[in-house]
Amino acid sequence: MTAPFTPSEIWYLLSRIPKGCVVTYGQLANMAGAPGYARVVGNILKQLPAGTDLPWHRVINGKGQISFPDGSSRYNLQKLRLEQEGVNISYGKVNLKAHQWHGE
DNA sequence: ATCATGACGGCTG
DNA sequence: TCAGCCGCCATGA
């Protein structure tokens, strides 16, 4: 827990992501003022309670892909939620140019 | 203290 | 464009 930011900071940033948009783990780290801490952001999302209201599904990796094994239940849930928000996913990848959120 | 493992990312062939 | 490989930081055995 020597990270330069706290889980609550990440939770706040998460709550700010507009519906229909996505951000990458590395982006959240940068927004928190901690370049290089992408994996740590992932650790924090991993610890979110199952029924959380935070839009964790709007976070994907830098390749525009969902960071869960293809076909796993979590993968399917994230994909479903994104598509319901109008995020286009083709060939397992999100069109970052079109949906990536760049800040307020 | 060391090693393996992640909801990661950048560089390279 | 894409698969490999390697670096990164935290956590748990």
- Looking at strand C, which nucleotides approach a protein CB closer than 7 A? 7-11
Mean pLDDT for the stretch of residues A93-103:
95
- Contact between A42 and A49 under an 8 Å Cβ cutoff? The reply is no
pLDDT band for position A103 (cuts 50, 70, 90): confident
Nucleotide nearest to A60 (CA to C1'): B7
Domains (range + CATH), chain A: 7-48+55-99 (1.10.10.10)
Residue range A20-73, pLDDT digits in tens: 999 999 999 999 999 999 999 999 999 999 999 999 999 999 999 999 999 999
Residues facing strand B, Cβ within 7 A: A 24-27, 38-43, 45-46, 48, 56, 59, 61-63, 67-68
Asked if pLDDT for residue A2 goes beyond 90, the answer is no
Asked if pLDDT for residue A1 goes beyond 80, the answer is no
Element (H, E) at A60: strand A59-60
